Amino acid sequence: AQQPPDSCQTLCDCSEAAKTVKCLDGNLTAVPPDLPPYVRHLLITGNRLARLPAGAFPARRLPDLRALNLSGNHLRAVEAGALAALPALRQLDLSGNPLVSLSPLAFGEGGSPLEELALRGALRDQGVLLSLATLLQSGALRNLSRLELADNGLLLLPAGMFTALPALRQLDLSNNSLVGLRNVSFRGLGQLQSLDLSDNSLGVLRNGTLAQLRSLPALRRIGLGRNAWVCDCAIEDLVAWLKESDQVEGKEALTCAYPDKMLGKALLKINGSELNCSVPVDLPSQLQTSYVFLGIVLALIGAIFLLVLYLNRKGIKKWMHNIRDACRDHMEGYHYRYEINADPRLTNLSSNSDV
């Protein structure tokens, strides 16, 4: 007897031989409830899932699920426990979803064996970025070896976002709007081999960041192309690092974007005389130095003033006595006039003498 078609065959393209299920470009609003247990590669893309609730992928029915592609599904919320208890899950793609909510407990409380996570174009909401940072920092994805965060318009990254990813080998931050990496720590990423920072708005890499990159033993490929490098005095450390390092791919093609006189100039061909570094760039240090110098000058002026007073103490004492005598004579004159004005007899006498 012929078996009736199940919903997998109705809604999706299911291949037991390839252990693959594809649910493409349909109108699914939820994960099909009766996916076959043999599935290792599951693609649900181009649908309208909207949200991924807790227990969306029951482990007892999907013990071998290894690769899960949920890209382009208009997905807005990934709730706590939505991806929990998938013992074989190694690859997850959530790219192209307008996420506004990503629970730090999406993988449950016990963590996940996940090795690759793609979030290209899925982190446009700042709240989701912070939630992802919390998820990564929790240690739930300590086995992660590849993280794709490209195409998200990111300006700044949360501090310490990558500190709990000891197995990370590839980090893709390309095609964002990153303006700096001052609060980004790459320390602890001893396995990191590839870092892509191309197509951003980086103007300079500071000494602290360069020191971190130097300290990563496995890092061999760094992408820095198509950034807005500002070729002033602050670029000197970056230029020196580029000349000595073999980590940066295509470093010969890196060029200045500002100022106008340096536009198009290759970073590797910059020399100190072109940068006009007579004026210190680090303004806080300059101000601090100025305040210290001003304090020393004022202290010297004060010491000289006290020394002058000490050396002229006799003359100053005589001068003070003269001032005191002058003041006393002045006050006696006022006192004499007051007595005349207060005595009526003297007043009459003064009046008669005027007649």
For the chain, the structural domain boundaries read 13-274, 282-319
Given this model, what pLDDT does residue 175 score? Answer: 98
pLDDT digits (tens, 9 = 90+) for 310-335: 888 778 878 788 888 777 777 777 67
Confidence of residue 308 (pLDDT cuts 50, 70, 90): confident
Least confident residue range of 43-47, 293-297, 328-332: 328-332
| Integer Cα distance of 182 and 96 in angstroms | 28
Task: Please give the single-letter amino acid code of residue 350.
Answer: S
Q: Please name every residue paired with 22 in a beta bridge, in sequence order, or none if there are none.
A: 13, 43
pLDDT digits (tens, 9 = 90+) for 69-84: 999 999 999 999 999 9
Confidence of residue 352 (pLDDT cuts 50, 70, 90): low
Given this model, what pLDDT does residue 155 score? Answer: 94
| Integer Cα distance of 139 and 133 in angstroms | 10
Given this model, what pLDDT does residue 99 score? Answer: 97
Report the predicted TM-score, pTM, of the whole model to 2 decimal places.
Answer: 0.76
Superfamily of 13-274 according to CATH: Ribonuclease Inhibitor (3.80.10.10)
Q: What is the b/e burial string over 198-217, where b = at least 16 CB atoms within 10 angstroms of the residue's CB?
A: bbbebbbbeeebbebbeebe
The pLDDT of 150-158, averaged and rounded, is 95
